[in-house]
Each structure stands twice: as C-alpha cells, then as structure tokens.
C-alpha cells in the first residue's frame, strides 16, 4: 500500500512562524513538502471559516502558527487565534471529525528548528490519524453543483 502523505495547511503569521519557516529552509532543515504555508499578517487574522474551509476542501490537518505568548505584533492576535482554534475543534467533534486535525502552535521568528520539528511532528500525528474522511469523499465524487 502507498504510504499516506497528509496534506497540511499551515497558516503562518508573517512576524514569526512564516519567517521561522523561511529560516528552516535556509538552514536546510527538512520538513514534509506537503505542508502548504499560507502567509497571514497575524494568526489573529485567521478566521474560523478559513480553518473549516481548509478541512472541507480536503486538507488532512490544519495548523495555525502564531507568535509566542505576549509577543503578538498586534497585542493579542495569537490568543484570539487560540480561542478560535478551540471553538472550531469543538465544532469538528460535533460532526465526528478528529479535533486533533486542527492545532495552534506558537514560536518566534528565530525558531527555524522548532518550525521544522513541529511540522514533522504534526505531519506524523496526522499520518497516524489517517486521511481526512472528507477528503476521501472529495476524491470519490465530483464536487456537487451549486444551487442556482
């Protein structure tokens, strides 16, 4: 059987995680190529619907990466993001999707190693969970027509 390579969407704050990811690259640290990075101006800019849509469109895991506690460039965007992640996790639980598919992580811009490590660990965790059940359905059938 083919090894399952999970698709991970990582919403990365421009001021920390995005730079850390960049640094991981320049440090030649390896992390799975399937981690798709979306640069955002602040983790607090990631809305609940973005997390939901990522999963709905087939991502196997979603990571929201913001600044360390107290270090948000916009004061408290990271704590807002953490609350939203917790909110969506509950919603996922209600529809029987593992809440572990969504996670909130924090780091500073200089933590290239940490980024790579987290990316690897999260990918491994999702690999253990298996494919997003929604994604499997997506592959099996063409997208439904929109009403009107």
Partner 1 sequence: MITAERKPLAEIIDSIDDCRRVLLVGCNECVTVCSAGGRKEVAMLASALQMDFMKRGKTLEIREMTLERQCDPEYVEQLAPFIGQVDAVLSMACGCGVQEVVRRFRDKRIYPAVNTKFMGATERPGVWAERCHGCGNCMLGLTGGICPIARCSKRLLNGPCGGSSGGKCEVSDDIDCVWQLIWDRMKELGIEDRYEEIIEAKDWSTERGGGPRKIVREDLAQ
Q: Which spans of this chain sit near partner 1 (rule: CB under 8 A)?
A: 47-49, 52-53, 55-56, 91, 94-97, 133-134, 137-138, 140-141, 144-148
Comparison of 29 and 138: residue with beta carbon closer to partner 1: 138
CB of residue 136 vs partner 1: minimum separation in angstroms? 8
CB of residue 52 vs partner 1: minimum separation in angstroms? 4
CB of residue 92 vs partner 1: minimum separation in angstroms? 8
Comparison of 16 and 59: residue with beta carbon closer to partner 1: 59
Q: Is residue 65 within 8 Å of residue 16, measured between CB atoms? A: yes
Comparison of 14 and 50: residue with beta carbon closer to partner 1: 50
């Amino acid at each position: 059987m083919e090894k399952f390579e999970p698709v991970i969407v990582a919403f990365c704050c421009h001021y920390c995680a995005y730079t850390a990811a960049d640094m991981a690259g320049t440090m030649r640290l390896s992390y799975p190529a399937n981690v798709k990075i979306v640069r955002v101006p602040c983790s607090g800019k990631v809305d609940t619907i973005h997390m939901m849509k990522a999963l709905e469109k087939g991502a196997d895991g979603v990571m929201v990466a913001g600044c360390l506690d107290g270090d948000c460039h916009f004061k408290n965007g990271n704590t807002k993001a953490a609350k939203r992640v917790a909110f969506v996790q509950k919603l996922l639980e209600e529809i029987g999707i593992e809440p572990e598919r969504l996670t909130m992580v924090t780091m500073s811009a200089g933590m290239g190693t940490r980024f790579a490590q987290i990316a690897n660990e999260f990918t491994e965790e999702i690999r253990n969970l298996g494919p997003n059940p929604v994604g499997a359905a997506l592959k099996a059938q063409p997208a439904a027509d929109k009403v009107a």
